[in-house]
Structure 1
C-alpha cells in the first residue's frame, strides 16, 4: 500500500502517528509524510514533503489575542483560526499535490490538520485520524473548526466525523462519540520494579519554551524537595538544569530514559499532555497532573474521574495556568495523598490491564483498507 501521513509540527500531534508510519514501513508499505517545514526534523527517516507555513504576522496576532482572552475564547481562536484557517489553509496546495502524485491508498491524519481531510475527500481516498487527545476533545476541535471546513467543502465536517479514529486511550477513560473507533496498544506492557518513594516529574517539551510557564519549573522542584521522596525531574533541552534550584533529593535532568523512569516511579507528576497520560496509564502509575494549557485540563479531569490520579486544576480562567497563591502547598498535599492511596494504585493497575488487552498496533486492526 501507499500511505500518506499528514501532521502539524507539534510533537504531541506527530508522535502518535510515528509508530504507525514505522510499522507500516517495516511491513513493506510505501510511506510518505507531508507537513509544514517545522516537521522536517521529526519526520527524519521517512520520505518527507514540506508544505507551506502560515504568515508569521497572522500567527503572532492570534497568539497575542490568546494571551489576552478567556479559556473559551482562546480555544476557539487556536482551533478554528490557527489550526484551521491559517495552518491547514497554508498546507492545502502541498497535500493536494502529494495525493495527486502518489495516489495513496490511505491518508493518516493529525486530527488538527485539515488540509489532509479536504484533499483526501476530494480525491476519494480513505482517511483516518490519530487519537492525539480524548475523543470528546477531538470532536470539540472539529466542531470548532467546522465553519472553516464547510467553507472549503460543504459536508467536510461530517466526512471527518465519520472517518475512523485510531486511539490508545482505553474505553474506560474515553467513551467515544465516534462510530468508527480503533483502540490499540504500542508494544508490550512495561515491566515494573517500583521504588516506593520514587517520583518522576515532567512538564513536557512545549512548556519550557513558554516564558509564562517557567515559574512552574521552580515550583515543581521546590515541591519535590520538600517531600520525603527521591525524584527525577526532566526539563527538556530549552532549559538549563543548573539554573533550577533543587534539594539533594531532586535530580534535574534534560532528559531521562522514559521507560526506565516509568518502570520505577511510584507516582508521576506531569502537565497532562496526552502522550504522558497514555504512557502512565499503560504502565499503571498513579498520576498527579498540573494542566498548563490546551487539552491538558480535559486529560486531567478524565484521570481524576477514572480514579487513577489527582490534579491541580487551572482556577485562573485564562488560557494558560499561571501559578496562584497556595498552589505549592496544595501540590505537596496531592503528591502525598496520591502516593498513600491504595485505591488509586489499584485502579491504575486495572486500567493498565485494560490497555494491555488491546490489540497491538498493526495494519490488520484498521479494517478500513
Structure 2
C-alpha cells in the first residue's frame, strides 16, 4: 500500500502520526510524509522520505496568533481552527499536497485531525482518507462545526466527507465516547526504557512536570515552570521537569535538591517510573499518562487543554486546577492561590490510591484496543 501522511507544524499534531508511519514502514508499505517547514528538522532525522509544503505569510500568521492568545479559550479555539488550521493552513499546504496526490497517487491519505489541505487534495483525486485524532472526539466534533465556511469553497460536501471519514483515536470509549460513525480505537505498544537515576538512589515518588512542546516555547513558560516547581518542591518526592528545547533553563533559578531539569526526555521512559504528572492538559501528555496508568494534575491554559482536564477529573484519574492568575496588577498566569491549589491536588493524588487505580483501569482499556499496525491493514482500500 502507498500511504501519504500529512501534518501541521506542531509536534503535538505530528507525534500521533509517528506510530502509524513506523507501522507502515515495518509492513513494507511505501510511505511519504508532507508537512510545513517547521517540521523539516524532525522529518530529516527520520528514515522515511518527505516533502516540505508551504507556510502562511509570517506577518499574517503572527497577527492571528496574537489574537488567539488574547482571547478567552473557546474563542481562541474558534479563531485557531478557522484561520490558522483552516484558511491559512490550507492555502499554504494545498499546492504541495495536490501535486503529491496527482503524481505519487497514494492509496490512502492519513492526516492528523487539523490538517485539512490533504483532505481537499484527496477528495479532488478520489483518494481514500482517514484522520488521526490529536484531541478528544467531542472536542474535535465541536471544531468540525466551524469548518464549512473554510472547506466548502474548495468543493461542495468536503466538510461532510471529512466528518464521515474513519476517525482513529487512542482514547478509550469509557472516557471519550465518539460521535463519529466510523471510529477505530488503537494503541501503540510501549517499551519504556530505564530512567537514569538523578536523585542519588532516592525511592521517593517521582513527580513529572511538563508543559509540552507549545507552551514551553511561550514567553510565560519560565514563570509557569517556577510556579509549578514551587507548588511541589515542598513535598517528599523526586521531581523531573522537562522544559522543552526552546526554554532558557537558566531562568528557572536555583533548583530544590530533589528536582532535576532536562530539555527533553522520552515520555515513555518517564511515565514508566512516575507516580504523578503535573501538566497543562495537552493531549500528548494526557493520553500518554493515562496509557501508563499515571494520575494527573492538569493546569489547563488554552486550546483543548480545558476539555482534556475535565475528562481526566470526570474519570477520577486526576484533578483539574484552572488558573485564576495573580493579583489584578500582576500579569502572572499562576498566582499564589493557584500554587497552593496545585500543591493540595498533588498531595491528594499521591496519598489517595483511588486515582491511580482509576488511571490504571483506563490504561487496561487502552491496551485492549487494536495495535496500530493491525489497524493500518484494515484501512487498505484494496483489502
Indicate if the aligned counterparts of 2:169 and 2:183 stay in contact, CA closer than 8 A.
yes
Query: For 1:362, what is the secondary structure of its paired residue?
Result: helix
Q: Over the residues paired in the alignment, what is the CA RMSD in angstroms?
A: 2.1
| Runs of 5+ consecutive residues of structure 2 not aligned to the other structure | 196-201, 326-330
Closer, same or farther: CA 364–71 of 1 in aligned 2, 3 Å: closer
Q: Which residue of 1 aligns with 2:345?
A: 334
| Partner of residue 370, structure 2 | 359
Given the superposition, is the C-alpha separation of residues 23 and 289 from structure 1 closer, same or farther in structure 2, using an over 3 Å criterion?
Answer: same
Is contact 1:314-1:321 (8 Å) kept? no
User: Which stretches in structure 1 are left out of the alignment for 5+ residues?
Assistant: none
SS in 2 for 1:237: coil
Alignment of 1:113-128 (within 5 A): 113-128=115-130
Q: Which residue of 2 aligns with 1:103?
A: 105
- Paired with 2:332 and 2:289, the residues of 1 have a C-alpha distance of 22
3-state DSSP of counterpart to 2:145: helix
Instruction: Write the deviation string for residues 147-176 of structure 1: whole angstroms up to 9, x where unpaired.
Output: 111122111110000000111111111100
Q: 1:29 maps to which residue?
A: 29
1:196 and 1:265 in contact (8 A); partners too: no
Q: Distance between the aligned counterparts of 2:193 and 2:269, measured in 1?
A: 10
Aligned to 2:13: 13
Instruction: Give, in whole Å, the separation in 2 of the partners of 1:223 and 1:253.
Output: 19
CA–CA distance in 1 between the matches of 2:69 and 2:313?
Answer: 27
The whole-number CA distance in structure 2 between the counterparts of 1:10 and 1:361 is 21
SS in 1 for 2:220: helix
Q: What aligned pairs does 1:126-145 form with structure 2 within 5 A after superposition?
A: 126-145=128-147
Q: Which range moves more in the overlay, 138-147 or 126-135?
A: 138-147
Matched position secondary structure for 1:12: helix
Give the conservation status (yes or no) of the 8 Å contact 2:20–2:376: no
In the alignment, what sits opposite 2:255?
Answer: 246
Aligned counterpart, 1:344 = 355
Within the candidate set 288, 304, 312, 1:303 is matched to 312
Shift of 1:121: 0.9
What count of residue pairs does the alignment treat as equivalent?
A: 366
8 Å contact kept, 1:40–1:50: yes
CA change 1:94–1:191 in 2 (3 A) is: closer
- Give yes or no for the alignment of 1:270 onto 2:272: no
How far residue 10 of structure 1 moved from its aligned partner, in angstroms, is 0.5
Residue matched to 2:214:
206
Rounded to whole Å, the distance in 2 between the matches of 1:173 and 1:312 is 19
CA contact (8 A) 1:225 1:248 kept: no
1:123 & 1:110 partners in 2: Cα distance? 19
The correspondence of residues 135-174 of structure 1 with structure 2, limited to 5 A, is 135-174=137-176
Q: Give the TM-score taking structure 2 as reference length.
A: 0.90
Aligned residue number for residue 229 of structure 2: 221
Counterpart secondary structure, 2:370: coil
Query: Contact between 2:194 and 2:269, CA under 8 Å: does it hold in 1?
Result: no
TM-score by length of structure 1 reads 0.94
> Does structure 1 residue 82 correspond to structure 2 residue 84?
yes
Q: 1:322 aligns with which of 333, 343, 346?
A: 333
Which residue matches 2:41? 41
Offset of residue 63 of structure 1: 1.6
The reply on whether 1:280 has 2:282 as its aligned counterpart is: no
- For residues 377 and 166 of structure 2, what CA distance do their matches in structure 1 show? 8
The CA distance in 1 between the partners of 2:61 and 2:193, in whole Å, is 44
Q: Secondary structure at the match of 1:127?
A: strand
Counterpart of 2:328 in structure 1 is: none
Deviation at 1:214, TM superposition (A): 2.9
Q: Is the CA contact 1:167–1:184 (under 8 Å) kept in the aligned structure 2?
A: yes
Q: CA deviation at 1:64?
A: 2.3
Distance change (3 Å), C-alpha of 1:347 and 1:20: same
